Amino acid sequence: MERILRINMTDRSATFEDVPEKYKERAGRWLTSSIVHDEVPATCDPLGPENKLVFSPGIVTGTASPTSSRISVGGKSPLTGGIKEANAGTGWGRRLANLGIRALVVEGKAADGYWLAKITCEGVEFEVADAWTGEKLSTVYPTVFDRFDGVESVDICSVGVAGEHKMAAAGICFNDQNGRPSRYAGRGGLGAVMGSKGLKFIVVNDKGGPGLTPANKDLFDSGRKKMAAALTEHAITKPEGALNSYGTAVLVNIINEAGALPTNNFRFGRFDGAAKIAGEAIFEGNKERTGATLYNHACSPGCIIRCSNTWHREDGSEHTSCIEYESAWALGANCGIDDLDQVAELNQLCNEYGLDTIEIGGTIAVAMEGGVAEFGDGKRAIELLHEIGKGTDLGVTLGNGAVATGKAYGVTRVPAVKGQNMPAYEPRAIKGIGMTYAVSTMGADHTSGYTIAPEILGVSGKLDPMNPDKAELARNFQYATAFIDSTGHCLFIAFAILDIASGFEGMIEECNGMLGTAWTADDVGRIGKEILDLELDFNRQAGFTAADDRLPEFMLTEKLPPHDVTWDIPDSEIDSIFGTGS
Amino acid sequence: MERILRINMTDRSATFEDVPEKYKERAGRWLTSSIVHDEVPATCDPLGPENKLVFSPGIVTGTASPTSSRISVGGKSPLTGGIKEANAGTGWGRRLANLGIRALVVEGKAADGYWLAKITCEGVEFEVADAWTGEKLSTVYPTVFDRFDGVESVDICSVGVAGEHKMAAAGICFNDQNGRPSRYAGRGGLGAVMGSKGLKFIVVNDKGGPGLTPANKDLFDSGRKKMAAALTEHAITKPEGALNSYGTAVLVNIINEAGALPTNNFRFGRFDGAAKIAGEAIFEGNKERTGATLYNHACSPGCIIRCSNTWHREDGSEHTSCIEYESAWALGANCGIDDLDQVAELNQLCNEYGLDTIEIGGTIAVAMEGGVAEFGDGKRAIELLHEIGKGTDLGVTLGNGAVATGKAYGVTRVPAVKGQNMPAYEPRAIKGIGMTYAVSTMGADHTSGYTIAPEILGVSGKLDPMNPDKAELARNFQYATAFIDSTGHCLFIAFAILDIASGFEGMIEECNGMLGTAWTADDVGRIGKEILDLELDFNRQAGFTAADDRLPEFMLTEKLPPHDVTWDIPDSEIDSIFGTGS
């Protein structure tokens, strides 16, 4: 019987309770968004005691299902002021699942100091963690692993100094399979929420845990095999396929070619230096520097796709893991920086300080627009990261993200929606993703509904990115994504299951096998809508209206080269997606 | 025939147009809010080219009516994101009225540089003003007066360096009768709007202007005489009465005694050093330092109340004018500072840099809460003001106000509504003003509806400040205030006209005399409601909901000494004021 674990940071107490009937099918994003919706006052201060931080492994997380080690993290976002779910691939969620914990709910707020919570099959223990604060995470993690018998025994969830400073760009960090603090539930400032509660670490040891028992093992096994077969077959997700070879940064050249790679704070759609920071350049650079052909590794146990790269220095030593597409773009093209070693250092510093690379890349670009640095000046960008890490007067502004930085330095060209900086796809050049940015419950977010798949990659058909008729696409992708985010699967399974019908069937069979449900393909849409409706309702209660579902003003008038396009989707079309118009 | 003057800063053009039929009775706040509502896209960037900055003298501004030299300034606020009207007492508005200009609408945005616009009866001339930027206003104003034949010929409207930096706490500055840059349309960051347009100065010379002709001179004269009689009679407004003797800072001891003087960032309701920064202390201090009994002066021509003080240094030289109650509190009690010379210096630096004293006092208090300074450290507070003036990395955060500063320094105790810091009355201890803060279209604002009059001062009856049954009071005071703000009268006439019926009649007769209307007392409420409805509609279109009509979370749980009270007005009661609940 799975349970919900509540940790109250006000008095460092912990209580277990049965999963209520209402939530019995819910896990991952479905459960985090349910608990946030049902328990967090929508108008509360995101950094106050009323907010809650909810962790939930997905439906199949912790099982033998492939590519399913995602942990969802939810709460009210200090960046957007709305509901937030961010997820990461890490063994940490598997261990939580193996302990029979469907959700961990962190409540209250410590009066002072920072704490470590250790969760085992015997319960929760707290210890003072102040000695571990103020440091880079790569310094801290090894000592915490030493204290708790290593990466074989535990996984660690933590915030960096950004979370300690309650910065709105602070993410929540998990270790990868090598124990590196490198896997992030990055967006929306959930690291600041964790920091505000005085919680520095959550260490999970699942030894002696009950594990997970499928309701119908045969059905589950059938499902996971279909999923594995689809992932192993699809060109994007298969071993030595696009992602395994070049990582997500394989997209740099593709999106640049499409004229939709935001460059110099969304001023251009192409970047001259794109090829120098692309996945292919990472692959070739590693070969040159290490003398080996390095295929990528899995961020978490049981992944077939294995898309995480490691970048090496000239001397062959390890520099950072992982340079995702979003990070290569945010810290590279969007800042006009085409030097992979500088991008890698910026990436590593985000990992060290506990920051969302997308928000920080967007922030540095806005700071560059405001005259704090020059576009292309990687050295200065690295200094800016250290300002954040030190919490200087400049750093605390930058650490609060692009909108805060724009306000401080008088910049009106801030490419954000609901306070969150846009990711690596230019909405003016790819209309469906722009509509998704506009209406997403999360603020500008590509992972809310990755319409790039059909609009650019030709997955599940091929659509013209400039075609404005995408309201239904934007809606349906968000519903399907909310479902996938609840299964515990990485969103990247979407490439395979959109193109390979048996993979999609496999996902449903896995869920039915675990839960004993009888879901069909229709339930994917139904459940996705249910999740979105909860999130939209929370946001409505928090004060969001159609006025918040708008792209920034400059995109309506400023033409984006090379296609010379503006954002021209009518408000009525945007409001039709979720029927949120007034 | 009065006209509307439009200045377009994009191409430095100016056009005159007739006042449309629809606006023919409208002036002051009624007209600024009408034009903002009708012409400014509610979701526009407040610092972008779509926002407009609207100036309008009141219905009787420029006439012989007493205490009527207010100029209303409207636009979309970069601080609140909603509509804003701020007004100031100055000869500038009288000159505009004498030129027959009912409203000045500043549109567009200069591509670069700062400009001076000179308005005369011959039209508008622009000249480059870059040489006047980056300086303290007391340095700049004399040279501008020299250039345009002195304070006898012109009055000046300007922004300081805060407006040049587009800081959300930047006000719009006007000169007083001595030419001192000291009278502010302070709140809501309208200085940043003016700065964003590249407009540094608006100099008005009314020589040769047509002046104002009442539709019914006898009626107007009857009205203004009744108004003058009421002001001359009432204990608060009469010559050598409370305001003329001690200025608005006469309230320091009164509100402190009521346990409602926010102290150390709204942590206490009484301040040990209150008497040292009170109006009485200013009066006595000046007497000691100058050897003279100094009654206060008028901020603008034609005022009977004459409440503006001047504070002098130990050597008898002039230090600053004017230390209002709000400024003495914001820069004094709220920061724990009880040294009048330090408060005066902070006040003067706000005037020099072009800042709203309320927002900046609130900001320094939040910064103190965040560890940037210690409560009571006036020297450090003065340094912080210079950081703003220099636009340092710390200064650009402080200059953006209390909410931005709270975010940067991890402070959740930020006493703001809709992004605007509360003024000098503790809502927990005076419920009606708290309800007004909650629902005001302007963000937390005492001048939206000064319920302090009955709740504390016994004007228009005496109510218990702790009585929660104030929804109707809060609504009706906001309606009446919106009307007064449209007449051109200073809000301080309210003391006299609330208690003296003939004064109230006088106000209506003045308006009817000028406009040829036949308004009765009922029209005051009707017009006030019409104005509020326009403002509420703008805010609704901008995305405001009932969720924005809430006091900060800490006030709901933290008991305020000495009365040990929390904010306990139900949301439903607040939402009943304007029927904005969902």
Q: B419-444: per-residue pLDDT in tens?
A: 999 999 999 999 999 999 999 999 99
Per residue in B53-107, pLDDT (tens digit) is 999 999 999 999 999 999 999 999 999 999 999 999 999 999 999 999 999 999 9
Per residue in A37-63, pLDDT (tens digit) is 999 999 999 999 999 999 999 999 999
If you ran DSSP here, which 8-state letter would residue B19 be given? P
Which residue in B has a C-alpha nearest to residue A162's C-alpha? B410
Q: Measured between CB atoms, does B168 come within 8 Å of chain A?
A: yes
Region B545-554 average pLDDT? 97
Inform me whether the pLDDT recorded for A1 exceeds 90. Answer: no
Question: Is B21 exposed, middle or buried (CB count within 10 Å of its CB: 0-12, 13-18, 19+)?
Answer: exposed
Give the Å distances, CA to CA, from B161 to A404, B402, B445. Answer: 20, 18, 24
In the prediction, which pLDDT does A197 show? 98
Question: Is A218 exposed, middle or buried (CB count within 10 Å of its CB: 0-12, 13-18, 19+)?
Answer: exposed
CA of A129 vs chain B CAs: smallest distance (Å) = 19
CA-angle at A205, arms to A201 and A211, nearest 5°? 130
Residue of B47, B412, B553 with shortest CB distance to A412:
B47
Sign of torsion over alpha carbons B261, B262, B264, B270? positive
Residue of B412, B544, B546 with shortest CB distance to A47:
B412
Q: Going along A439-501, which residue ranges are E strands? A: none
Question: Is A153 exposed, middle or buried (CB count within 10 Å of its CB: 0-12, 13-18, 19+)?
Answer: middle
Element (H, E) at A575: helix A571-578
Region B324-345 average pLDDT? 98
Element (H, E) at A128: strand A123-128
pTM for the model stands at 0.97
Inform me whether the pLDDT recorded for A352 exceeds 90. Answer: yes
Region B490-495 average pLDDT? 96
Report the alpha-carbon distance of residue B271 to residue B253 in Å, rounded. Answer: 9
Q: Measured between CB atoms, does B558 come within 8 Å of chain A?
A: no
Q: List chain B residues with CB under 8 Å of A47.
A: 410, 412
Q: Which of B396, B548, B551 to mutate to test the interface with A (most CBs of A within 10 A)?
A: B396
Which residue in A has a C-alpha nearest to residue B394's C-alpha? A393
In this structure, are residues B539 and B83 in contact, taking their beta carbons and an 8 Å threshold? yes
If you ran DSSP here, which 8-state letter would residue B275 be given? G
Per residue in A272-308, pLDDT (tens digit) is 999 999 999 999 999 999 999 999 999 999 999 999 9
Q: Which of A43, A387, A409 to mutate to test the interface with B (most CBs of B within 10 A)?
A: A43
In the prediction, which pLDDT does B487 show? 98
Per residue in B359-368, pLDDT (tens digit) is 999 999 999 9
- Token pair of B57, please? 């003298």
Which residue in B has a C-alpha nearest to residue A44's C-alpha? B553
pLDDT-derived band of residue B580, with 50, 70 and 90 as boundaries?
confident
Inform me whether the pLDDT recorded for B1 exceeds 80. Answer: no
Report the alpha-carbon distance of residue B539 to residue B82 in Å, rounded. Answer: 5
Region A215-239 average pLDDT? 97
In this structure, are residues B582 and B548 in contact, taking their beta carbons and an 8 Å threshold? no
Helices marked H in A188-272: 190-196, 217-233, 242-246, 251-257
Which residue in B has a C-alpha nearest to residue A367's C-alpha? B393
If you ran DSSP here, which 8-state letter would residue A549 be given? S
In this structure, are residues A206 and A98 in contact, taking their beta carbons and an 8 Å threshold? yes
Report the alpha-carbon distance of residue A253 to residue B286 in Å, rounded. Answer: 72
In this structure, are residues A127 and A115 in contact, taking their beta carbons and an 8 Å threshold? yes
Inform me whether the pLDDT recorded for A222 exceeds 50. Answer: yes
Cβ <8 Å between B407 and A404? yes
Report the alpha-carbon distance of residue A484 to residue A29 in Å, rounded. Answer: 9
Per residue in A260-275, pLDDT (tens digit) is 999 999 999 999 999 9
Per residue in B401-415, pLDDT (tens digit) is 999 999 999 999 999
The domains found in chain B, sorted by start residue, are 3-205 (3.60.9.10), 248-295+308-424 (1.10.569.10)
Q: Measured between CB atoms, does B43 come within 8 Å of chain A?
A: yes
- Token pair of B139, please? 């340095």
Phi-psi category of residue A410: left, alpha or beta, with phi > 0 → left and psi -120 to 50 → alpha: left
Nearest C-alpha neighbor of A338 from the set A274, A280, A385, A294: A274
In the prediction, which pLDDT does A580 show? 79
Locus of tokens 């009994």: B293
Region A401-427 average pLDDT? 98
What value does the mean pLDDT of chain A take? 97
Q: Measured between CB atoms, does A240 come within 8 Å of chain B?
A: no
In the prediction, which pLDDT does B118 show? 98
- Token pair of B91, please? 């000869």
Cβ <8 Å between B543 and A545? yes
Report the alpha-carbon distance of residue A345 to residue A337 in Å, rounded. Answer: 12
Region A64-88 average pLDDT? 98
In the prediction, which pLDDT does B582 show? 46
Question: Is B246 exposed, middle or buried (CB count within 10 Å of its CB: 0-12, 13-18, 19+)?
Answer: buried
Find residue A154's DSSP bridge partners. Answer: A205
Region B325-344 average pLDDT? 98
* Lowest model confidence (mean pLDDT) among B242-256, B268-282, B567-581: B567-581
Nearest C-alpha neighbor of B30 from the set B540, B439, B483: B483
In this structure, are residues A298 and A321 in contact, taking their beta carbons and an 8 Å threshold? no
Per residue in B502-515, pLDDT (tens digit) is 999 999 999 999 99
Q: Measured between CB atoms, does A549 come within 8 Å of chain B?
A: no
- Token pair of A108, please? 């209250």
Q: List chain A residues with CB under 8 Å of B161.
A: none
Buried b (16+ CB within 10 A) or exposed e, B382-400: bebbebbbebbbbbbbbbb
Region A416-432 average pLDDT? 98
Per residue in A122-172, pLDDT (tens digit) is 999 999 999 999 999 999 999 999 999 999 999 999 999 999 999 999 999
CA of B415 vs chain A CAs: smallest distance (Å) = 12
pLDDT-derived band of residue A582, with 50, 70 and 90 as boundaries?
very low
DSSP code per residue over A18-38: EPPGGGTT--HHHHHHHHHHH
Region A335-347 average pLDDT? 98
In this structure, are residues A567 and A428 in contact, taking their beta carbons and an 8 Å threshold? yes
Q: Tell me, what's the ipTM?
A: 0.95
If you ran DSSP here, which 8-state letter would residue B151 be given? T
pLDDT-derived band of residue A581, with 50, 70 and 90 as boundaries?
low
Nearest C-alpha neighbor of A305 from the set A221, A241, A387: A241
Per residue in B146-198, pLDDT (tens digit) is 999 999 999 999 999 999 999 999 999 999 999 999 999 999 999 999 999 99
